[in-house]
Structure 1
Amino acid sequence: MSLPAKNLLAEETSPYLLQHKDNPVHWRPWTADALEEAREAGKPILLSVGYAACHWCHVMAHESFEDPRIAEVMNRYFVNIKVDREERPEIDQIYMASLSAMGEQGGWPLTMFLDSEAKPFWGGTYFPPEQRYGRPGFPQILEAVHEAWQNKRSELSKSAGALSAHVKAQLASDRGNPVSPRATLESLSTRIYSMIDKDLGGLRGAPKFPNAPFMRTLWLSGTADHRSAVTESLAAMLAGGIYDHVGGGLARYSTDDRWLVPHFEKMLYDNAQLLRLLCWVYSDTADKLFRIRIEETVSWILRDMRVEGGAFASSLDADTGGVEGTTYLWTKGQIADVLGNQAGSFFETFSLARPEHWEGDPILHRRGHPQYLGEPRETHLRSMLDELLSARQRRDQPDRDDKVLVDWNGLAIGALAEAARLLERPDWLNAARQAFRFVCESMKDGRLPHSFRDGRGVFPGLSSDYACMISAAASLFQSTAEQAYLDQARDWADNLRAWYLDDSGTGYYLTASDAADLPMRIRGDVDEAVPSATSQIIEALLALSMLSHETLNTHVSDVAEAALGRTVGQAYGQAGIVYVAALVEMSKKLLMVEPDRHRFFVPVANRNLDPSRFDIVITDGRPQNLPDGMSINADKRAAYLCIGQICLPPFQSSEELEAALRRANQPKTSW
């Protein structure tokens, strides 16, 4: 297949790919045609993977991909393929694992060189246009790879074949030996706790990431020390510059160890996971500062991330006008101009910092006052922050990647529904419903896309898309008691089994069986910034099982057992699977019979969130969703709590239920 000798990205929907449509590089999207072109021409593939909010992706684009001289070399020697890692995460995972197997540090932009069969033989991340930062210049690399391809092709092909086989064994491994979920959770959470920065929160060192998979593992492990580490880590990051005090929401990571200097890109997935953690911590501690951060984060999601139709965009760029963070930065004079004589009061709580090596305007934070300061003071601070927000919205804004990623939207919908339950916000619940409806309407032939923009979807979706939307449906069912959400979740679970289940029936692949243009089919066992696709699948099927007409079914247990066995051979990224495997063993079911419109027990359940508990409201007089051997009177108000295989006597009063839920979720002093 001979493709035109020009850039072919103009017809793509990905904002990241469209950022590169005017490059002089003859970019191709990742397609079967592009791979066939490489085979027919006998050329190696230069694969460049990034995403729209990535600062260093922009830097490499400006320095190299917009340079006609460098582009000419790329076009002469290579078939050049550009991939949006968010739109095609399965491609990114394969080649990021390849880079890691070479002993190199991963990151984006990812720059990989592949043979004509799309097998990787060498790569790296960002390369400057000339030698600096201890890295070779990109043109020199292009020439060196070309020379090796011309003179040592058989050696490169042999090396590429061995590397691909290694990556396939790593990413598509078979079932491992059974291990104990609780013992594995205890061991992993103890290791994570040993890495916690006891003074500054989060993991020791820099850069500092929120690392939601680690935080929720500590939370589920349930010891008082581990839960305190989560609470203190959240408090520390939410006082630092990584948190947007003016507009709400968390940046992707902090470049320093004090949560002070953010990398300013803001991702939907980070904030969806943050929101859920904040709900658990606020439910447990009743610390009103966490409630404020929930409200601010939801406000940011609904204000800045909603697209037409009600779903949510993927990210906000780190840069504004090519400079990182300028939208978010303030000088003391700028704040004084906005707040006038209130500025002195503002700076009694907030500070501006310009740490060493930071070249921009100062960064706003409240590290000196991380604690709740009382309702009058916090209300006054919020009113001043709102004035700053109004002024900030008149500035140039960062670009928004407005593609709708189905799995990330599932995370956000579930978190919004949970926050709506906790804080009694029907407007938030309505926003979650609208986003859910958007995703349902994006389906084609009953199947989900992975990405959707401008009326066009990227099909077929990934198993993570089905998993996250099943979990979102489960959250909405628990928030509304509307059976339609559970029915939709069952349909998606059927699709998951039809297109993604492996031959053993105890595991799932990341990609569908009819997905074309893939060099290999992988599972998705390893966590990234979000828990792994495998862990998302297990969590989704667990929720559906617990909320449906059966007790925990054996399929969920089998999938969890097989996945946990595979983690034994993993060097990193196991927290998601360890978490859900333990969740399967620790799951609880709460049935609340509410025979009239008055909700007697539901408010108690809503303010006592527990990630291991699944809540069902029975309102129509028909017993349903009962554990084996259990019978209830569906006409008489009562609450029934089952922990594992043991069901407690029915609760007649809300006070009794509240005490039982608190006991069931009480931190342990030790394992």
Structure 2
Amino acid sequence: MANRLADSTSPYLQQHADNPVDWREWGEEAFAEARRRGLPILLSVGYAACHWCHVMAHESFEDEATAEYQNEHFVSIKVDREERPDVDAVYMQATTAMTGHGGWPMTCVLDHDGNPFFAGTYFPDQPRHGQPSFRQVLEALADAWQERPDDVRRTAEQVREHLRREAALVPGAVDARTLDQAVDVLAGEFDPMAGGFGGAPKFPPSMVLEFLRRYVGRPRPEGLDDEGSHRVRQAAHMLARTVQAMAGSGMYDQLGGGFARYAVDRGWVVPHFEKMLYDNALLLGVYARLGTDLGDRIARETAEFMLRELRTPEGGFASALDADTEGVEGKFYAWTPAQLVEALGDEDGAWATELLGVTVEGTFEHGTSTLQLRHAPDDPERWARLRARLLEVREERVRPARDDKVVAAWNGLAVSSLVAAAQRLDEPAFLDAALAAGTLLRDLHLRGGRLRRVSRDGVVGEADGVLEDLGCVAAAFVDLAAATADAAWLEPARLLLDDALARFRADDGGFHDTGSDAEALVARPRDPSDNASPSGLSSTIHALVSYAALTAEDAYRTAAEEALATVSSLMARAPRFAGWSLAAAEAMLDGPREVAVVGRPGPERDALARAARALPGALVVVAEPGASGIPLMRERGEVGGAPAAYVCRHHVCAAPVTDPAAL
């Protein structure tokens, strides 16, 4: 018999609709029930593609005896972290503070005011490796609630006070030295053997890579001393080594394109197989902007994967693909030598086995291997043919489940990166997909001047967007305006940025993650660090900078500068968690350069546009003479009857050029 989650719009919550646990959605009704029965609240947070969420559900939430005890002693709430990132952020902060680490599934126990007095992540169904079972945890917490209420109250108050004390954000100057310091810190954390930063597990540092790309490519007309030259070479090496390592790794889907969530090992061999939209959107942008053959290949394959496997009928992009099929993680993606031979024949199978690093022992589990492409094939045409055949064979397997809700922020990231891929690869289908997703965000998610967080099957949810939604979607609208020279996209971008400045801004010039009129939680979320996806602060800074560049409205530029100043210390000391802010700072240090390419369509204008778009962090608009809807294009014309490019910084423009080399 289905519980209260059966009517939820969240695919993750619907996964738990048949649990014997009497789950409720987050809301006042659940808290009122807890007060009525005098019970604590058990809050469980996860997401649809989360492997260990599935494991804990199967072991504990589907177990009748455990569920019976849980229903008797707790009021249980299930939250989709992707649908309610505000709730997730507050209790993840508590979990990290109380345990020293975080992750999903997240398990918190709360008092009737929402204050946590216990927090953890995954708990097994039996005691294991010194960890208590979930049933033991439930029994201890129920006993503490009944027998030691003073201890519970004291712990809850201490955690509440911790959550309410915001991390001190002391604004400071952001200049070239700040970015140099960030590169020095990154160099100390870089893995010279395998690329990337730190050890296992290893996450794709997409936002840091975008910063390094801009840092390396920033024009420095004043020249560099020996120390500066060495630093630029270090940055270039970290960028090149990491993008190459990830592209050839088991974390990258060598058959279908697209990246898994992270690698469980230092060498990028075995991934955690879920595929998230935000990872693929961000990495698509990185590879599309590299300007190399490798970048072009990975960008094309990743964009094609997104259009093929994540696109929804409404034109948006689904949140994720699951890691598991038929209850086994990675089963869809892993291969044995025998399976390759069966699919390709003896000779081709043996060749592919060697090329892709598939071994008899297996690099993954149960004798299976992930597919790696650590070096270019000696016969590219043969590999292309075999790759297509293996993809056909893999399509006959049971596919991973798809979380098909459309998250505004992540779709905004997808739009911006598809625009970059369309321009680099001269692929109109990618721009069409970006326009369709942008249209969905504008026409469905914008309601009464407010942005909604999620939609599904063309129906928008009730939850308001958080800051990352406003920032990522506003940036996407600006990118569409620049890509199409259509000023109609600027108005919804302005609407979102004005809303961010009105409801989300903090007294120090930074931003809160929720609006001033949002549901009051134990603490108001405010996390300026970039993690799996850009923070609300950094994504909003990007949007403010690009909007100001297109419109010449300095108030938005000033707001970006003030917000960036609040994370100056974070950028210099912990750059791995400030990559998107650093990328924005790079653009601002270089202007950003605003390039208006004006001319009749044709090869000459296309050559200028390509040269302009190669400038890291530049904002480029291409239009015919007379286009004036976008302020950057006003009073620009051809020169001597030839297409011309106008390069401006801070409202000061150089003389127009007609030669791509001069540009």
TM over 0.5: yes
SS at match of 1:411: helix
Q: Shift of the alpha carbon at 1:73?
A: 1.4
Q: In the TM superposition, what whole-angstrom CA distance separates every residue of 1:252-284 from its partner, at most 9, and x where no partner exists?
A: 111111111111111111111111111222x1x
Residue correspondence of structure 1 range 204-353 to structure 2 within 5 A: 204-222=198-216, 223-281=232-290, 283=291, 286=292, 288-340=293-345, 341-353=347-359
Q: Contact 1:242/1:260 (CA < 8 Å) preserved in 2?
A: yes
Q: In the TM superposition, what whole-angstrom CA distance separates every residue of 1:358-381 from its partner, at most 9, and x where no partner exists?
A: 423422433542x4x57xx33431
Identity %: 37
Corresponding residue number in structure 2 for 1:179: 173
Q: Shift of the alpha carbon at 1:116?
A: 1.4
Corresponding residue number in structure 1 for 2:222: none
> In the superposition, relative to structure 1, how do residues 88 and 631 fare at CA in structure 2: closer, same or farther (>3 Å)?
closer
Corresponding residue number in structure 2 for 1:515: 518
Q: Contact 2:251/2:262 (CA < 8 Å) preserved in 1?
A: yes
> In the superposition, relative to structure 1, how do residues 96 and 611 fare at CA in structure 2: closer, same or farther (>3 Å)?
farther
| Correspondent of 1:152 among 148, 151, 159 | 148
Corresponding residue number in structure 2 for 1:485: 489
Q: Contact 1:248/1:297 (CA < 8 Å) preserved in 2?
A: yes
Q: Contact 1:592/1:617 (CA < 8 Å) preserved in 2?
A: yes
Cα distance in 2 for residues equivalent to 1:305 and 1:575: 26
> In the superposition, relative to structure 1, how do residues 390 and 473 fare at CA in structure 2: closer, same or farther (>3 Å)?
same
Residue correspondence of structure 1 range 354-369 to structure 2 within 5 A: 358-369=364-375
Matched, 1:533 2:536: yes
Q: Shift of the alpha carbon at 1:434?
A: 0.9
Cα distance in 1 for residues equivalent to 2:270 and 2:510: 41
| Correspondent of 2:95 among 93, 96, 99 | 99
Residue correspondence of structure 1 range 642-657 to structure 2 within 5 A: 642-643=648-649, 647-657=653-663
Which amino acid counterpart does residue 563 of structure 2 have in structure 1? V
Cα distance in 2 for residues equivalent to 1:569 and 1:640: 37
| Correspondent of 1:128 among 124, 127, 130 | 124
Corresponding residue number in structure 2 for 1:401: 403
| Correspondent of 2:12 among 13, 16, 21 | 16
Cα distance in 2 for residues equivalent to 1:494 and 1:167: 28
SS at match of 2:332: helix
Corresponding residue number in structure 2 for 1:410: 412
Moved more, 536-545 or 161-170: 161-170
SS at match of 2:279: helix
> In the superposition, relative to structure 1, how do residues 644 and 355 fare at CA in structure 2: closer, same or farther (>3 Å)?
farther
Cα distance in 2 for residues equivalent to 1:219 and 1:595: 29
> In the superposition, relative to structure 1, how do residues 600 and 131 fare at CA in structure 2: closer, same or farther (>3 Å)?
same
Q: In the TM superposition, what whole-angstrom CA distance separates every residue of 1:412-434 from its partner, at most 9, and x where no partner exists?
A: 11101110000100011101111
Q: Shift of the alpha carbon at 1:8?
A: 1.3
Cα distance in 1 for residues equivalent to 2:420 and 2:9: 32
> In the superposition, relative to structure 1, how do residues 655 and 632 fare at CA in structure 2: closer, same or farther (>3 Å)?
farther
Q: Shift of the alpha carbon at 1:133?
A: 2.6
Q: In the TM superposition, what whole-angstrom CA distance separates every residue of 1:30-71 from its partner, at most 9, and x where no partner exists?
A: 112222333343322111111111111000000000111111
Moved more, 421-430 or 582-591: 582-591
> In the superposition, relative to structure 1, how do residues 603 and 411 fare at CA in structure 2: closer, same or farther (>3 Å)?
farther
Cα distance in 2 for residues equivalent to 1:625 and 1:589: 16
Corresponding residue number in structure 1 for 2:113: 117
Corresponding residue number in structure 1 for 2:461: 457
Cα distance in 2 for residues equivalent to 1:649 and 1:298: 37
Q: Shift of the alpha carbon at 1:328?
A: 1.0
SS at match of 1:111: strand
Cα distance in 2 for residues equivalent to 1:494 and 1:538: 13
Matched, 1:621 2:626: yes
Corresponding residue number in structure 2 for 1:547: 550
| Correspondent of 2:568 among 561, 564, 570 | 564
> In the superposition, relative to structure 1, how do residues 228 and 322 fare at CA in structure 2: closer, same or farther (>3 Å)?
same
Q: Shift of the alpha carbon at 1:601?
A: 4.1
Report the RMSD for the aligned CA atoms in angstroms: 2.6
> In the superposition, relative to structure 1, how do residues 355 and 632 fare at CA in structure 2: closer, same or farther (>3 Å)?
farther
Which amino acid counterpart does residue 209 of structure 1 have in structure 2? F
- Structure 2: where are the runs of 5+ without partners? 217-231
Cα distance in 1 for residues equivalent to 2:587 and 2:180: 13
Moved more, 207-216 or 116-125: 207-216
Moved more, 94-103 or 20-29: 94-103
Corresponding residue number in structure 2 for 1:664: none
Q: Shift of the alpha carbon at 1:625?
A: 6.3
Cα distance in 1 for residues equivalent to 2:19 and 2:233: 54
Q: In the TM superposition, what whole-angstrom CA distance separates every residue of 1:176-231 from its partner, at most 9, and x where no partner exists?
A: 13233432222222112211111111123211111223323333332122122122
Q: Shift of the alpha carbon at 1:29?
A: 0.9
Q: Shift of the alpha carbon at 1:563?
A: 4.1
Cα distance in 2 for residues equivalent to 1:41 and 1:567: 48
SS at match of 1:327: coil
Cα distance in 2 for residues equivalent to 1:441 and 1:361: 49
Which amino acid counterpart does residue 522 of structure 2 have in structure 1? P
Cα distance in 2 for residues equivalent to 1:41 and 1:638: 73
> In the superposition, relative to structure 1, how do residues 527 and 590 fare at CA in structure 2: closer, same or farther (>3 Å)?
closer
Corresponding residue number in structure 2 for 1:75: 71
> In the superposition, relative to structure 1, how do residues 593 and 385 fare at CA in structure 2: closer, same or farther (>3 Å)?
closer
Moved more, 264-273 or 143-152: 143-152
Moved more, 221-230 or 120-129: 221-230
SS at match of 1:467: helix
Q: In the TM superposition, what whole-angstrom CA distance separates every residue of 1:449-492 from its partner, at most 9, and x where no partner exists?
A: 11111324132111211111111112222221111122221122
> In the superposition, relative to structure 1, how do residues 248 and 595 fare at CA in structure 2: closer, same or farther (>3 Å)?
closer
SS at match of 1:112: strand
Q: Shift of the alpha carbon at 1:354?
A: 6.5
Q: Contact 2:185/2:574 (CA < 8 Å) preserved in 1?
A: no
TM-score by length of 1: 0.89
TM-score by length of 2: 0.91
